[in-house]
Structure 1
Amino acid sequence: MSLFPIPSKPIGLASDHAGYPMKEYIISLFKEQGIPYTDFGTYGTQSVDYPDFGHRLGEAIDSGECDKGIAICGTGNGINMT
């Protein structure tokens, strides 16, 4: 049972490589609560071009695929600027 209303559209998730472990933790909570999500990457802790994943998340929100999104970054700056 979820503590919050289940959204009708998935929540988008994106991270840089430093934020990957936190994104995976959030995914585990979403699965536990039955909250729909779409994972736009990154998919590991290897260094990546984080704007690629931030752009995917932003485009999904702009297009209406997702109503909301969570961007996770090791410093909290880079992916959020994207």
Structure 2
Amino acid sequence: MTSQGTAHGRFARALARRDLVQAELAALELGRLSLDDALQLVHLYAERRSPKYERAALRWLERYLVETGPTLGDVAAIAALFVERAPPT
């Protein structure tokens, strides 16, 4: 651990500051984010209009399908929200 704390602590602080670069660096160090943390990163990509948004949203949705066993309605609603938040192309 560095004087800046754990990678997860740095990730949480970067999210709170809306600092995409630092959030990505901490996420890389963590390796695998929890589903909730990954969703927060997806939201930050949308907010920053990152070109990484769509791929990150799709990867999150894949994990959501596997890890939670949602209904088709849940998946449709979440996918619609992701489309709505997508940066303009």
Normalising by structure 1, what TM-score? 0.31
- Give the alignment's TM-score, normalised by structure 2: 0.29
Select the structure with the greater relative contact order (CA < 8 A; seq sep ≥ 6). 1
Write 1 or 2 for the structure with the bigger share of strand: 1
Whose Rg is larger? 2
